[in-house]
Amino acid sequence: FVNAIAYDEFRNIVALKIIDNKGRTRIEQGEIHDPLFQAKAEANAARSITDARHVWRKYPEYQSDPGFVVAVKEKTEQYKQANQ
């Protein structure tokens, strides 16, 4: 699945990372240097509520960024529903 994707100002894909279900990188093109982008990618790659909470604690500087908040919240809710 897509682990990370970055766009330029024209919405062209400039970086892409695809990993398999075991977390191994299968395709990686371009470079992603934006720390906020990296934080969101980690949130989207979380495989459990514990992982999502770890990402949240790891990046306190982005806890006011709406995109980061949504990414972590969606993963947390996804695993809460799966565990019910």
pLDDT tens, 30-47? 877 778 888 888 888 888
What 3-state DSSP class applies to 12? coil
pLDDT of 19 higher than 80: yes
- Nearest residue to 75 via CA among 15, 26, 62, 83: 83
Question: pLDDT-based confidence at 57, cuts 50/70/90?
Answer: very high
Please, which residues bridge with residue 27 across strands? 18
Average pLDDT, the chain: 87
